[in-house]
Amino acid sequence: MLIKGARVIDPESKRDEQMDIVLEGEKVLRICRPGEAGKDETFDQVIEAEGLAAAPGLVDVHVHFRDPGLTYKEDIHTGAAAAAKGGFTTVVCMANTKPIVDNEETLRYVLEEGKKTGIHVLSCAAVSKEFKGQELTDMEGLLAAGAAGFTDDGIPLMDGALVRKAMEEAARLGTVLSFHEEDKTFIKENGINHGAVSQALGIYGSPALAEDSLVARDCMIALDTGACIDIQHISSGHSVEMVRLAKKLGANVWAEVTPHHLALTEEAVLKHGSLAKMNPPLRTEEDRQQLIQGLKDGTIDMIATDHAPHSAEEKNRALTEAPSGIIGLETALALGITALVKPGHLTLMELMEKMSYNPARLYKLDCGRLQEGGPADLVIFDPEEEWVVEGFASKSSNSPFVGEKLTGKVKWTICKGKVVE
């Protein structure tokens, strides 16, 4: 395949220039000056990419494909299709399926189904058996069976001694633990920030303290044990400050933030109702600005969607009864460009670093870079094209961005050297 005249953006080498790209098999064969490729060669496919950007395929370390067990919301194949439509070539599924991915059989099912899709579908396994927070899974056996890392995402681990034991085991095995940080003893109604909006709605909601208290605990346990941990879907400015301190002290702490926490505040709940209900909740404008600052200074390493499909029937319930979460794979890149690049918070190069290179580094994956000899996993997109959000490849459509105009349109997603349809 020949990709002609694209603006090549590689966050590892920091290359940003117009080039031709030649793909052969599953590798990048050559990156050369425009017009140099194709003089004495014929290609099976030629993509005219002048005016478009070509970057490493996006990598999402936090998705819910609901398979096995909840496939009326999403399954591995529709989730992968949504990922490809959004420019993602690698995703890491969470373990909160039914049954939970706390055993090798369920893990193998997810990975085998993932191989039938056009992208790379990886999966974490659970930290604790049955998500009960009482007994660790066989982390060594699950790693050998192909687990990318470990998380009880959706359920906080409240037993500090168990968390420390998990981190010691993860450090021994050289793997990653990802944490859903919320102390439920501080929460009355989940999914809506405790503040002005919850007060207007006549409910208490979920204070940032619920997140902050566990982020502080786990950052310090990580410092003590030397474990590599990921603070998932960070939403509070205070939590950003604690991650910043932990890194300064030498802890191997990473942090991820969702596009929706960067683009919206708690005010969105008044406009969109349950479509803006998520866990952790959208917080204040001050929190949003601190999240952006955390991305800019490297405190927050990654943008991850927390793609969380739910049926329309579930989301149409009363606000306090509807489930938390929104889909995010098909809007993530455009939200990054619209909310971060256009206002001047990040360059396109820095956005690619947060959406491909750093997520790949966390899990030690051979992707997230666009270089000769590297994997032929890339996204080709128009960073200037405006489009209105409508119609999803996902089974679900629970997004507050439906009908919104965003900038940045994916044109082709290429994985293993093939265009993903």
Q: What gap in Å lies between CA 337 and CA 343, rounded to an integer?
A: 9
Q: What share of the chain is helix, strand, coil (3-state, %, to 5)?
A: 35, 25, 45
- Residue 293: DSSP 8-state: H
Query: Would you call 306 a catalytic residue per the annotation?
Result: yes
Q: What gap in Å lies between CA 130 and CA 36, rounded to an integer?
A: 56
- Candidates 75, 287, 306, 377; catalytic one: 306
Question: What contacts 32, CB < 8 A, 6 or more positions away?
Answer: 19, 20, 22
Q: What gap in Å lies between CA 145 and CA 107, rounded to an integer?
A: 8
Q: What gap in Å lies between CA 369 and CA 104, rounded to an integer?
A: 31
* DSSP letter for each residue of 386-416: EEE----SSS----TTTT-EEEEEEEEEEET
CA neighbours closer than 13 Å in the CB half-sphere of residue 217: 21
Residue bearing tokens 């098999």: 25
Q: Which residues are part of the catalytic machinery?
A: 306
